[in-house]
Structure 1
Amino acid sequence: MNVSVIGAGLAGSEAAWQLARRGAHVTLLEMKPQKKNPAHVTDDFAELCCSNSLRSDQLENAAGLLKEELRRLGSLVIACADETRVEAGGALAVDRQGFSALVTERIKACPNITVIPGEVTELPEGEVLVASGPLTSDALAERLQVLLGTDTALHFYDAAAPLIAADSVDMDHAWLGSRYGKGSADYVNCPMNKEEYDAFWQALTAAEEAPVHGFEDQKVFEGCMPVEVMARRGHDTLLYGPLKPRGLDDPRTGRWPYAVVQLRRDNADGSVYNLVGFQTHLKFPEQKRVFSMIPALHRAEFLRYGVMHRNTFLDSPRLLDRYYRLKKEPRVTFAGQMTGVEGYVESCASGYLAAVELTRRLRGLPPLDFPRETAIGALGLYVCDQSVVRFQPMNVNFGIMPPLDHRVKGKRDKNTEISLRSLHIIDDLREEALR
Structure 2
Amino acid sequence: MLSIIGGGLAGCEAAWQAAERGVHVRLYEMRPQRATEAHVTDRLAELVCSNSLGSDVTDRPSGLLKAELRRMGSFLLDCADATAVPAGSALAVDREAFAERVTARLEAHPGIEIVREEVTELPDGPTIIASGPLTSPALSDALAALSGEEHLFFFDAISPIVEGDSVDMDVAFRQSRWDRGDQAGGDYINCPLDRDEYEAFVDALLAAERIPLKSFEAAIDAGVKAGLHRFFEGCLPIEVIASRGREALAYGPLRPVGLTDPRTGRRPYACVQLRQDDLAGTLYNLVGFQTNLKFEEQKRVFALIPGLADAQWERLGQMHRNTFLSAPRLLDPTLRFRGREDLFCAGQLTGIEGYAGNVASGLLAGWNAARTMNGEAPVTLPQDTMLGALCHYIANADPAHFQPMKSNMGLLPALPPPEGRRKKRKKRERQAAHAGRALASLDGFLRGVDPLPAAERDPRISA
Asked whether the two chains share a fold, i.e. TM above 0.5, the reply is: yes
Name 1:163's counterpart in structure 2.
161
Query: Which whole-Å deviations, capped at 9, do the CAs of 1:214-245 have from their partners, x for residues lacking one?
Result: 35894111111000000111111100011111
Structure 2: give runs of 5+ residues left out of the alignment: 419-423, 453-463
Aligned pair partner of 2:327 in 295, 304, 316: 316
Q: Please name the residue that 2:458 is paired with.
A: none
Question: 1:183: Cα distance to partner?
Answer: 2.8
Are residue 421 (structure 1) and residue 437 (structure 2) matched?
Answer: yes
Matching residue's letter, 1:328: G
Give the drift of 1:434: 6.9
Matches within 5 A, 1:4-153: 4-149=3-148, 151-153=149-151
Counterpart in the other structure of 2:187: 186
Pairwise CA distance, 1:394: 0.2
Contact (CA 8 Å) 2:382, 2:445: kept in 1 or not? no
Alpha-carbon distance in 2 for matches of 1:386, 1:163: 36
For residues 181-210 of structure 1, what are the alpha-carbon distances to aligned partners after superposition, in whole Å with 9 as ceiling and x for unaligned?
223300101011111111111000010000
Match of residue 358 from structure 2:
347
| Partner SS, residue 392 of structure 1 | coil
Would the aligned equivalents of 2:329 and 2:399 in 1 still touch at CA under 8 Å? no
* SS in structure 2 of the partner of residue 79 of structure 1: helix
Query: Could you tell me which residue of structure 1 aligns to residue 367 of structure 2?
Result: 356
Residue 430 of structure 1: how far off its partner (Å)? 2.8
Cα deviation code 1:293-349 (max 9, x no counterpart): 112000000110101011010001001111111113222211100110111111111
Aligned to 2:457: none
Displacement of 1:36 in angstroms is 1.4
Contact kept, 8 Å, 2:327 with 2:350, in 1: the verdict is yes
SS of equivalent to 2:120: coil
Q: CA shift at 1:388, angstroms? A: 5.0
The aligned residue for residue 292 of structure 1 is 303
1:239 matched to 2:250: yes
Q: How does 1:324-335 map to 2 (within 5 A)?
A: 324-335=335-346
In 1, distance between residues paired with 2:377 and 2:232?
36
- Match status 1:196 vs 2:201: no
Q: Is 2:257 the partner of 1:258?
A: no
**Structure 2 Cα separation of the partners of residues 285 and 393 of structure 1:** 32
Indicate the residue corresponding to 1:337 in structure 2: 348
1:142 partner SS: helix
**Aligned residue in 1 for 2:421:** none
Q: What's the TM-score once normalised by structure 2's chain length? A: 0.91
Corresponding residue SS for 1:309: strand
Q: Using the TM superposition, give the Cα deviation of residue 32 of structure 1 relative to its aligned residue in structure 2, in angstroms.
A: 1.2
2:79 alignment partner AA: C
2:427 to 400, 411, 419: 411
Shift of 1:386: 5.0
The answer to which of 410-419 and 47-56 deviates more is 410-419
C-alpha distance in structure 2 between counterparts of 1:38 and 1:396, whole Å: 26
Give the aligned residue type for 2:19: A
The SS at the match of 2:396 is coil
State the alpha-carbon separation in 2 of the partners of residues 132 and 218 from structure 1.
22
- Name which of 243, 254, 272 aligns with 2:283: 272
C-alpha separation between the residues in 1 aligned to 2:262 and 2:382?
A: 47
Q: CA shift at 1:402, angstroms?
A: 0.6
Aligned residues: 433
| Contact 1:201/1:231 (<8 A) preserved | yes
CA distance in 2, matches of 1:422, 1:333: 25
**1:302–1:427 CA distance, 2 compared to 1 (3 A):** same
Mapped to 1, the partners of 2:211 and 2:377 lie a distance apart of 51
Match of 1:177 among 175, 191, 198: 175
Q: CA deviation at 1:428?
A: 2.1
Letter in 1 for 2:414: P
Say which is worse superposed, 254-263 or 207-216, in terms of deviation: 207-216
**Partner letter of residue 64 of structure 1?**
G
> Closer, same or farther in 2 for the Cα pair 1:146/1:88, shift >3 Å?
same
Q: CA deviation at 1:126?
A: 0.9
Following superposition, the deviation at residue 369 of structure 1 comes to 2.4
For the Cα contact (< 8 Å) 2:162–2:283, is it kept in 1? yes
The RMSD of aligned alpha carbons is 1.5
Greater Cα shift, 228-237 or 350-359: 350-359
Kept in 2, the 8 Å contact 1:179–1:246? The answer is: yes
CA distance in 1, matches of 2:277, 2:40: 15
* CA 1:390–1:363: 2 relative to 1, 3 Å: same
Letter in 1 for 2:384: E
Shift of 1:148: 1.3
State the one-letter code of the partner of 2:20: R
Q: Relative to structure 1, is the Cα distance of residues 248 and 133 closer, same or farther in structure 2, using a 3 angstrom cutoff?
A: same
The code of the aligned residue for 1:348 comes to: V
Classify the secondary structure of the residue corresponding to 1:239.
Answer: coil
User: Deviations 1:326-383 (Å, cap 9, x if unpaired)?
Assistant: 1132222111001101111111111111111122222222333211011111111111
Counterpart residue number, 1:306: 317
The Cα of 1:387 is off from its aligned counterpart by 4.3
Comparing 289-298 and 407-416, the one that deviates more: 407-416
